[in-house]
Chain A
């Protein structure tokens, strides 16, 4: 039982179920960080809900000692939308993966973000279908050899952050499963955001797609830009920077170059899209909060319409409703 006076620990957020991901799965680290961060935030377990779809990542709710709903493939954002509209006071987290969220559930993800529903969506991206034993996913690189694509996959991958920004998400971030510290910071900031949160978590699947993010995560200083609001886009131990020019082209330049861009999480959508487009082969990969803007949340607006209607017309009376339309009395 939690009360505001008792300090919660990570353990309070662990359910009594055995965690059943494969040994070495990146999901363990994410789970631990989420549990620790919620304890640090001091949230109430009873007002916290985790909604998931189908896939390895979507087993997440079973391991959280909060309210949780493991739903059906791709539909978690829709189910979470209904829950958040009906109960805006709850913290609603959505856990999904690259297959669940971007393939079968792409439509729901897009619309939840566009409506700015106050959901905190964590998309675990491992570029593979794990639970169904290793088919390529919408984020897999072209040529991925998998069970269903022995000659290599043909589809061009989707960029989750670019999609989230285009859809209208009001908080867009990326973090790697190996960086617990940054993940905690991002989760804390996300927790306080009112509208739709989209966090891409680069997650390693040791069984079907091992090391897919190694180039980014293993040499972090060299391959990542940790985004900090109001600070320049520097990497490689502060020796190099990224400059985004007038022609909307990004370039890697020396850290001392005055052209190095300054990060503004509250910047323009165009700038955020530029950041999202920086991909590993050519550029360092931005992690942290790319974009953040304040807009009224969908559930707040939906509930205000109800309040406004009641204020304008008075609370509806069933007697009056029954007597609407064409009526007459027979005596």
Chain B
């Protein structure tokens, strides 16, 4: 039968199911198909912290949201247009996000009494009218999957594992995606287990053909390609981009990359990515704990390597004393914090921006550390290079902040040409004439002299140093001088900061300030407000210490300053104390990114003279 095709500008689809249902894979594969079709895409995986919560339970629900569009997009979307749920628990957890009139595709085969009970449904929602506000398509995906694999020798359990491919096939049909590249990917991925490849392909096709023949669906949809600048693109996640950037940064410095880490969510993927790329000459080390991980990195930096360690909030807390040692001994070191919800273990798989104060103030003593934050998955690549360059140029530890949202989320990334990446080759001092361990250059950096250099043997350590010789000094005036010098050195980094990312006029009614991974939501919100003619500007703060020099001239030029953060207002405090402006806060501490609508709503409230919260 022929069905009509509707053209849409953009679609947000969310796949949700049990942790064992393969929703991350389904979402990723569909994202690939969208990118191949030329759409702009943004993804947001949202999975539970448990390795495997009890099957069918609410804590075990895993989701993957994809936003694909024929125009430029900044976020994975506020709310799904289409929600695919594989069991009652997934429906229970996700239905609140589906707007009235949204499409709901339900694996009806799982709505049996045991599963309903686990999800806390007293009455089957498929039969009680509660889903009437939505366009519901109930499909017994479980049974159809098993039927499609009738002829195979797979066990029932094995057959069940393919059901996510039925859902994938169905949405491929709905959005007119080509099956051939997906079939090729499945064949490649299961090359060693051809029986599973065959099963998944059979089920994928079954889902596709089901859409075609069943009377359930009135339309298919077409989302035309976006207008991308011509070039070579890659769908990249933040952690992948960080690892790639670290390798690139070390190459640009002409040095060996030494990376040490300790397993922690959501930072471990950086260690994994580097460990499989040893042919770039990088040495990776899984240390016994977070302290050893930064300790080993400091040792490697002392030895002359580009040294990096990465962790998340609780691990960063453990590294703080050692970071102070790197401040005192003025060794180049990159510390990456992929932030997650806190305090303590907090929300390991959820995003938050609540480690800003930890980054700025987490050490004992006057211990300035340069801090900046990456803003998008693709930006993580450039941020990694920048962190290495600044660490070496100023002989200092540098903290680079990422977060769970951009670490796991993906976006199309214009792949840079290697020739466009400026090298910054390191030259270690080898001349013994007139060497003083703490003599400084015009950037206030001391020379990076590495063991093995004859005639420059010297000692460094955590005790206060004489400002010239580097020998132990308890002299009061020397300590004050060194304290000021360390601060002045970090302040000098302002001369290296690129112009601030400001979207809109430099004066107006509302200045929306954000930092880090909220960039996309804030930019999309401000874009829509400006389209309505509102005098709103978005200023993205990349550098937090030293803070963006342009901010001072901007904050006084607007009637309202709104600082939007996924915390209780950490940057806002800084801005208020630094610039004495009455900055308001838009704050969210739910482990979830901002919705564009939340940003728009907050700005509108300010414009109407109301309070934000």
Q: Mark A192-213, 1 if CB is under 8 A from B, else 0.
A: 0000000000000000000000
Q: Is B123 an interface residue (CB 8 A)?
A: no
Return chain B residues, CB-CB under 8 Å to A322.
234, 244, 248, 415-416, 418
B295 A82 Cβ-Cβ under 8 A: yes
- What number of A residues sit within 8 Å (CB to CB) of B? 63
Residue of A nearest to B244 (CB): A321
Q: Is B528 an interface residue (CB 8 A)?
A: no
Nearest chain B CB to A78's CB is how many angstroms away? 3
Q: Is A156 an interface residue (CB 8 A)?
A: no
B461 A71 Cβ-Cβ under 8 A: yes
Q: Is B260 an interface residue (CB 8 A)?
A: yes
Return chain B residues, CB-CB under 8 Å to A321.
244, 247-248, 277, 280
Return chain B residues, CB-CB under 8 Å to A90.
303, 451-452
B300 A83 Cβ-Cβ under 8 A: yes
A323 B234 Cβ-Cβ under 8 A: yes
A71 B462 Cβ-Cβ under 8 A: yes
Q: Which stretch from A45-53, A142-150, A228-236 is at the chain B interface?
A: A45-53
Q: Is A326 an interface residue (CB 8 A)?
A: yes
Complex CA–CA separation, A74 to B134 (angstroms) = 61
Q: Mark A76-102, 1 if CB is under 8 A from B, else 0.
A: 001111111111011000000000000
A83 B415 Cβ-Cβ under 8 A: no
Complex CA–CA separation, A68 to B280 (angstroms) = 30
Return chain B residues, CB-CB under 8 Å to A258.
none
A85 B283 Cβ-Cβ under 8 A: yes
A1 B325 Cβ-Cβ under 8 A: no
A68 B303 Cβ-Cβ under 8 A: no
Residue of A nearest to B307 (CB): A82
A85 B300 Cβ-Cβ under 8 A: yes
Return chain B residues, CB-CB under 8 Å to A306.
278-279, 281-283
Residue of A nearest to B31 (CB): A326
Nearest chain B CB to A92's CB is how many angstroms away? 9
Complex CA–CA separation, A85 to B295 (angstroms) = 12
B234 A46 Cβ-Cβ under 8 A: no
Nearest chain A CB to B392's CB is how many angstroms away? 15
Return chain B residues, CB-CB under 8 Å to A312.
279
Q: Is A75 an interface residue (CB 8 A)?
A: yes
A47 B292 Cβ-Cβ under 8 A: no
B455 A46 Cβ-Cβ under 8 A: yes
Q: Is B153 an interface residue (CB 8 A)?
A: no
Complex CA–CA separation, A70 to B300 (angstroms) = 15
B38 A78 Cβ-Cβ under 8 A: no
Return chain A residues, CB-CB under 8 Å to B260.
82
Complex CA–CA separation, A64 to B325 (angstroms) = 21
Of residues 315 to 329 in A, which have CB atoms within 8 Å of B's CB atoms? 315-316, 318-319, 321-329
Complex CA–CA separation, A329 to B169 (angstroms) = 25
Return chain A residues, CB-CB under 8 Å to B297.
82
Q: Is A239 an interface residue (CB 8 A)?
A: no
Indicate whether A87 sits within 8 Å of B304 (C-beta atoms), given known contacts A82-B298, A321-B280: yes
Contact for B462 among A66, A70, A107, A108, CB less than 8 A = A70
- Number of residue pairs across A and B with beta carbons under 8 Å? 211
Return chain A residues, CB-CB under 8 Å to B292.
75, 78, 81, 107-108, 111
A107 B229 Cβ-Cβ under 8 A: no
Of residues 273 to 304 in B, which have CB atoms within 8 Å of A's CB atoms? 277-283, 285, 287-289, 291-293, 295-304
Return chain A residues, CB-CB under 8 Å to B36.
328
Q: Mark A124-135, 1 if CB is under 8 A from B, else 0.
A: 000000000000
Of residues 58 to 75 in A, which have CB atoms within 8 Å of B's CB atoms? 61-62, 64-72, 75
Nearest chain A CB to B147's CB is how many angstroms away? 32
B279 A313 Cβ-Cβ under 8 A: yes
Complex CA–CA separation, A327 to B414 (angstroms) = 10
Return chain B residues, CB-CB under 8 Å to A111.
287-288, 292
Q: Is A331 an interface residue (CB 8 A)?
A: yes
Q: Is B170 an interface residue (CB 8 A)?
A: no
Complex CA–CA separation, A331 to B233 (angstroms) = 11
Complex CA–CA separation, A69 to B331 (angstroms) = 12
Nearest chain A CB to B90's CB is how many angstroms away? 26
Complex CA–CA separation, A54 to B282 (angstroms) = 31
A331 B230 Cβ-Cβ under 8 A: yes
A310 B471 Cβ-Cβ under 8 A: no
Return chain A residues, CB-CB under 8 Å to B228.
330
- What number of B residues sit within 8 Å (CB to CB) of A? 72
B279 A86 Cβ-Cβ under 8 A: no
Return chain A residues, CB-CB under 8 Å to B298.
71, 79, 82
Return chain A residues, CB-CB under 8 Å to B452.
46-47, 87, 89-90
Return chain B residues, CB-CB under 8 Å to A41.
none
Q: Is A279 an interface residue (CB 8 A)?
A: no
Of residues 239 to 283 in B, which have CB atoms within 8 Å of A's CB atoms? 240, 244, 247-248, 251, 256, 258, 260, 277-283
Q: Is B157 an interface residue (CB 8 A)?
A: no
B230 A15 Cβ-Cβ under 8 A: no
Nearest chain A CB to B466's CB is how many angstroms away? 11
Q: Is B365 an interface residue (CB 8 A)?
A: no
Q: Is A2 an interface residue (CB 8 A)?
A: yes
Return chain A residues, CB-CB under 8 Å to B324.
72
B258 A46 Cβ-Cβ under 8 A: no
Contact for A325 among B234, B287, B461, CB less than 8 A = B234
Complex CA–CA separation, A80 to B303 (angstroms) = 10
B299 A86 Cβ-Cβ under 8 A: yes
Q: Is A19 an interface residue (CB 8 A)?
A: no
Complex CA–CA separation, A81 to B300 (angstroms) = 8
Contact for A83 among B234, B302, B322, CB less than 8 A = B302
Q: Mark B536-572, 1 if CB is under 8 A from A, else 0.
A: 0000000000000000000000000000000000000
Indicate whether A72 sits within 8 Å of B462 (C-beta atoms), given known contacts A87-B452, A315-B281: yes
Return chain A residues, CB-CB under 8 Å to B258.
82, 85-86
Q: Is B456 an interface residue (CB 8 A)?
A: yes
Q: Is B460 an interface residue (CB 8 A)?
A: yes
B457 A86 Cβ-Cβ under 8 A: no
Return chain B residues, CB-CB under 8 Å to A84.
299
Q: Is A253 an interface residue (CB 8 A)?
A: no
Return chain B residues, CB-CB under 8 Å to A78.
287-288, 291-293, 295-296, 299
Q: Is B454 an interface residue (CB 8 A)?
A: yes
Q: Is A303 an interface residue (CB 8 A)?
A: yes
Q: Is A44 an interface residue (CB 8 A)?
A: yes
Indicate whether A327 sits within 8 Å of B288 (C-beta atoms), given known contacts A69-B459, A71-B461: no
Residue of A nearest to B276 (CB): A309
Return chain B residues, CB-CB under 8 Å to A166.
none
Of residues 218 to 248 in B, which have CB atoms within 8 Å of A's CB atoms? 228-236, 240, 244, 247-248
Residue of B nearest to A85 (CB): B283
Q: Is A23 an interface residue (CB 8 A)?
A: no
Residue of A nearest to B416 (CB): A322
Q: Is A154 an interface residue (CB 8 A)?
A: no
Q: Is B321 an interface residue (CB 8 A)?
A: yes
Complex CA–CA separation, A85 to B293 (angstroms) = 13
Residue of A nearest to B455 (CB): A1
Contact for B472 among A1, A62, A319, CB less than 8 A = A62
Q: Is A249 an interface residue (CB 8 A)?
A: no
Complex CA–CA separation, A326 to B277 (angstroms) = 17
Return chain A residues, CB-CB under 8 Å to B85.
none
Complex CA–CA separation, A323 to B233 (angstroms) = 8
Return chain A residues, CB-CB under 8 Å to B418.
318-319, 322
Complex CA–CA separation, A8 to B366 (angstroms) = 42
Return chain A residues, CB-CB under 8 Å to B291.
75, 78, 108
Q: Is A302 an interface residue (CB 8 A)?
A: yes
Residue of B nearest to A16 (CB): B471
Complex CA–CA separation, A231 to B259 (angstroms) = 46
In the assembled complex, 19 residue pairs joining A and B whose CB atoms fall closer than 8 Å, in A order, are: A1-B432, A1-B454, A17-B459, A46-B452, A46-B454, A54-B462, A67-B457, A70-B459, A78-B299, A81-B287, A82-B260, A82-B301, A90-B452, A309-B278, A310-B281, A318-B247, A324-B234, A328-B36, A329-B231
What 11 additional pairs, Cβ within 8 angstroms, besides A69-B329, A313-B279, A319-B418? A71-B298, A72-B322, A79-B298, A82-B307, A83-B302, A85-B258, A85-B283, A86-B258, A306-B282, A316-B277, A321-B247
Closest 3 CB pairs of A and B: A70-B461, A82-B299, A82-B296
